[in-house]
Amino acid sequence: IKSAVESGLGIGCLSQVVVQNDFRNGTLVPLKLSRRDMRRRFYFALPRKRYQKSAVDYWIDLCRQSTDSGDNRSE
């Protein structure tokens, strides 16, 4: 998706985590959408008996932090 946008084929919708370096480098620019709630809920699927992996735990924490709007309701 990023490559297509960089090539001029249109716009894309990606997580801020995925494009934050591109925004800093200036290769992509964010578009502000008024009256659009682009928040989303993440669900994580992991093996029941997984070994602790710091990279997986870091990713889950990063996702939780970047989507935390003070609304921690569970559905």
User: Which tokens is 1 given?
Assistant: 């998706």
* The pLDDT value given to residue 67: 63
Q: At what angle do helices 16-25 and 54-67 cross, to 10 degrees?
A: 80
Tell me the average pLDDT across 3-18.
89
Between 53 and 24, whose confidence is greater? 24
User: Which tokens is 71 given?
Assistant: 């609304």
Alpha helices in the chain (DSSP H): 2-6, 16-25, 54-67
* The pLDDT value given to residue 3: 92
